[in-house]
């Protein structure tokens, strides 16, 4: 897709790279045994290591390493068998040791790529520069008291994966599609819950612009901790406009850290480059280098779940879904699993259609997640089966679905109890048709004189009188026979 921002003066192109911090799903913190539980009372999940007590030493949590390797494989990235931890030194009240243990020169995951699906049906490869693991800081709470800051160290030491992309995004939409795709991959893998509003996935956005057609990389500005996909897209849009305006007024964009304000959608200066920290990175002497065997990596690769792209392809190839339907269904693993269960031995395309329409609409209306759905996957499959076997019509099926959504009952039972079974008995249908013909001599006359498009009207009337139970194709057949004779 061409993404050009055209002003009165020139054509511009956006260049964006993302850095995403993802909290690792693990029972305990990355360098201590304390719990990672979210939402507990302040400072209850804090070990002596997390609090930076004298003489305390970090020990690496193997589960976090495993999760990072899984994630790396999910990003189609190179897993580095040798990686190192470093200290990033800076003072802040919620950083108890005065340094963050992170990876600097030798990250655990190297280059990779993620395919994003775009609105025009096309897809695009986004390069991953690297991913490293590190510890999170605690939280400073400034708004509980007018003159005090409170510190909560529950989050201090929780494992993070920092994913750095290449500057491959050319529009806000691409960045949005990437974040959704990344979230989907992480949730499939079970390595991060991807909840941006809870801060378990946080995004730093690097934006620059350049004249369209050029391949230079101009000065970029970084916006830290933008906490929703929508805000990331907004931030890119508005920051790019701001930079273009600067250039078009013969100014220069200055490298700086800017803050995105969700209430205005605008960005403002947070920290100029000359006030940037000197983090004095150096190798963490308390932790030996992290060396992984090829066998260890292969074992994780072997046990990897089917990822959204592979699943999508399978749904297209073997289940006959359209690429769009497959993409929507595969974005969320629970949805994809539901779909697979529902379409087992049933018409997969029909199941997909039902899910994309009535089923999602119902969940939305009831504000339920898929695992809370009153309609089970088996029951949705059975409903589709009833339609396929002409037991009920599509129209009746909608009615049955409404009842299923209220009661959770299976469709056979509903159809049976309510007597909704389609009438396929030709004698009964013929009786109704005869009544329709007898009651509407004018239309019969008109039809016979050539107004054959009235056929639909006769079919409709007949089905209506059957209270929807008459099988439409049988009705159609019989009416033709009677009228054409």
At 19, is the secondary structure helix, strand, or coil?
strand
Q: How far is the CB of 206 from other proteins (least distance, A)?
A: 20
Residue 87 lies near other proteins (rule: CB under 8 A): yes
Residue 97 lies near other proteins (rule: CB under 8 A): yes
Residue 288 lies near other proteins (rule: CB under 8 A): yes
Closer to other proteins by Cβ: residue 54 or 450:
54
Could you give the CA distance from residue 472 to residue 426 in angstroms, rounded to a whole number?
12
Q: How far is the CB of 26 from other proteins (least distance, A)?
A: 18
Q: Report the residue from 4, 10, 44, 57 that binds other proteins according to the rule CB under 8 A.
A: 57
- Site size for other proteins, by CB under 8 A? 30
| Contacts of 113 by beta carbon, 8 Å cutoff, 6+ apart | 75, 76, 77, 125, 126, 127, 128
Closer to other proteins by Cβ: residue 12 or 99:
99
Q: Report the residue from 3, 89, 257, 259 that binds other proteins according to the rule CB under 8 A.
A: 89
Residue 255 lies near other proteins (rule: CB under 8 A): no
Q: Report the residue from 55, 213, 419, 441 that binds other proteins according to the rule CB under 8 A.
A: 55
Closer to other proteins by Cβ: residue 43 or 123:
43
Could you give the CA distance from residue 106 to residue 94 in angstroms, rounded to a whole number?
26
Q: Report the residue from 51, 141, 297, 304 that binds other proteins according to the rule CB under 8 A.
A: 51
Q: How far is the CB of 201 from other proteins (least distance, A)?
A: 28
Number of H helices, E strands in the chain: 16, 16
Closer to other proteins by Cβ: residue 55 or 146:
55
The per-residue DSSP string of 157-179 comes to T-EEEEEEE-S-B-SHHHHHHHH
Residue 99 lies near other proteins (rule: CB under 8 A): yes
Could you give the CA distance from residue 364 to residue 422 in angstroms, rounded to a whole number?
30
Closer to other proteins by Cβ: residue 282 or 324:
282
Touching other proteins, residues 266-285 (CB under 8 A)? 278, 280-282, 285
Q: How far is the CB of 291 from other proteins (least distance, A)?
A: 13
| Contacts of 283 by beta carbon, 8 Å cutoff, 6+ apart | 84, 85, 86, 87
Could you give the CA distance from residue 17 to residue 204 in angstroms, rounded to a whole number?
9
Could you give the CA distance from residue 100 to residue 156 in angstroms, rounded to a whole number?
10
Could you give the CA distance from residue 84 to residue 386 in angstroms, rounded to a whole number?
59
- Specify which residues 205 forms β-bridges with: 18, 223
Q: Report the residue from 1, 93, 361, 368 that binds other proteins according to the rule CB under 8 A.
A: 93
Candidates 87-95, 231-239, 299-307, 380-388; binding stretch for other proteins (CB under 8 A): 87-95
Candidates 4-12, 47-55, 244-252, 381-389; binding stretch for other proteins (CB under 8 A): 47-55
| 257-269 as b/e: b if 16+ CB within 10 A | bbebeeeeebbee
Crossing angle, helix 62-74 and helix 294-302, to 10 degrees? 70
Site residues (CB under 8 A) for other proteins?
48, 51-60, 87, 89, 91-93, 96-99, 149, 151, 278, 280-282, 285-288
């Amino acid at each position: 897709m061409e993404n050009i921002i055209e002003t009165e003066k020139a054509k511009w192109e956006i260049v964006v790279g993302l850095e995403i911090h993802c909290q690792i799903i693990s029972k305990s913190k990355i360098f201590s045994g304390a719990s990672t539980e979210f939402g507990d009372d302040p400072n209850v999940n804090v070990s002596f290591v997390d609090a930076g007590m004298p003489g305390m030493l970090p020990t690496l949590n193997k589960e976090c390493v495993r999760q990072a390797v899984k994630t790396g494989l999910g990003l189609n990235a190179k897993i580095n068998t040798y990686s190192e931890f470093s200290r990033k030194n800076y003072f802040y009240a919620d950083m108890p040791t005065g340094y963050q243990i992170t990876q600097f020169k030798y990250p655990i995951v190297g280059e990779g790529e993620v395919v994003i699906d775009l609105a025009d049906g096309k897809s695009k490869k986004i390069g991953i520069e690297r991913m490293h693991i590190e510890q999170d800081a605690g939280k400073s709470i400034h708004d509980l008291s007018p003159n005090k800051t409170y510190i909560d160290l529950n989050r201090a030491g929780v494992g993070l994966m920092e994913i750095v992309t290449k500057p491959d995004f050319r529009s806000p939409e691409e960045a949005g599609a990437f974040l959704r795709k990344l979230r989907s991959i992480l949730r499939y893998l079970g390595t991060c819950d991807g909840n941006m509003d809870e801060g378990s996935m946080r995004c730093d956005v690097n934006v620059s612009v350049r004249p369209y057609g050029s391949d230079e990389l101009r000065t970029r500005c970084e916006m830290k901790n933008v906490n929703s996909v929508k805000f990331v897209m907004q931030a890119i849009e508005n920051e790019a406009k701001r930079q273009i305006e600067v250039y078009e007024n013969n100014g220069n964009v200055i490298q700086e850290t800017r803050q995105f304000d969700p209430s205005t959608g605008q960005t403002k200066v947070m920290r100029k480059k000359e006030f940037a920290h000197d983090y004095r990175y150096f190798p963490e002497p308390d932790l030996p280098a992290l060396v992984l065997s090829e066998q260890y990596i292969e074992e994780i690769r072997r046990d990897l779940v089917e990822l959204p792209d592979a699943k999508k392809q399978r749904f297209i190839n073997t289940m006959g879904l359209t690429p769009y339907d497959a993409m929507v269904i595969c974005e969320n693993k629970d949805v994809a699993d539901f779909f697979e269960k529902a379409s087992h031995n049933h018409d997969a395309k029909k199941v997909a259609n039902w899910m994309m329409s009535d089923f999602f609409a119902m969940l939305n209306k009831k504000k339920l997640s898929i695992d809370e759905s009153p309609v089970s996957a088996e029951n949705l499959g059975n409903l589709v089966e009833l339609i396929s076997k002409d037991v009920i019509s599509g129209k009746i099926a909608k009615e049955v679905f409404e009842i299923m959504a209220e009661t959770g009952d299976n469709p056979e039972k509903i159809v049976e109890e309510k007597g909704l079974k389609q009438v396929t008995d030709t004698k009964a249908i013929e009786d109704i048709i005869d009544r329709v013909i007898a009651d509407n001599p004018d239309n019969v006359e008109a039809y016979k004189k050539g107004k054959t498009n009235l056929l639909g009207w006769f079919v409709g009337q007949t089905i209506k009188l059957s209270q929807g139970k008459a099988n439409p194709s049988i009705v159609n057949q019989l009416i033709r026979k009677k009228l054409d004779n």
